[in-house]
Structure 1
């Protein structure tokens, strides 16, 4: 099953794979991914609304799949409450909270208080990028909930991608889903979701770096508000 690892897959093979999957839906992409990688693939979930849909779909394909959440220590309490609800609903899923090497207190001592204000890229690197890099080194591939509709930086994402940042294969089953389709699925299947979504937070990250947005605005405008930063770096 290792023949499609980042180290030996060719760009032409990625192109062929995406052509083969072009007319497939999300569940088919997940079936392909778990057939190909079995236990050698992990879903890195932020527990946003797309994450809830993906968790439900994954549970139908592999009910003991590995799922990791980057626990920065700075998330909203509603996010942690949601994770507990999901664990209860899907008891067989292997959901793990991955923490950075340093606590928030230790980070403050090393770099000064509120690093997310003075150097947000460095804060994301310490609390998200490095922990995920360490975790992904254990697997051949990972799953992400990216959708093309979310932003211009995600408009060209494919079902199967060579992830240069993490030297891994990144599988994105929801690329064609619209926000309306995501919410329809959640409501139809009565899935738990973060209460903040009903309070003007379409995209939810760390509490210190996430603000609500007005209706009709870019769904990611509230992330790293008042800065030029638009991504934490996981998908660059």
Structure 2
């Protein structure tokens, strides 16, 4: 479904990603893992079209999209939940969710009830400003906004950062439910326990490269020690 070939990326004179090869199978839940600063967020931003790439290809369903604008990638089925959530704090919950509607391929103009089934708190706070929500509620709003676009792939960058444990558990439940229903999920995740709970696949990064790929069952203690332990 998603294939990245020989992707390289630079910030100024510094090379961040080095000839990255990565495949994401349809229907999988793939956790991209690694220590801080290895290029995980940069890789997601390149996938979403939020950063230009120096070389390589990004393919979605066999079609090269590395030159496609970010908003067009959303219309092609990539839904993104960025690190830090990036909700609009002065807009209401309803207005934040409505922002995703123009990216839908079916032309639906109303927020799907499915969003409120997954995150009931959003229905309760529909007319509250986004900035008045707790961190966990804002994260649910950010995920809901991405789901409003009716994505084929849900891409999340550290969805549990700074979130209270009960909300982390709820987010995990939602991710597993959506994945079981056939939605492909890609997430950067630092919490090993959460990754093992929700993920079916892992990709380990080190110094801007993918250095190990396998099913989650293949994430050995040796790989954890070598690439994740601090």
TM norm. shorter chain > 0.5: no
Q: Which has the higher strand share?
A: 2
**How high is the TM-score relative to the length of structure 1?**
0.29
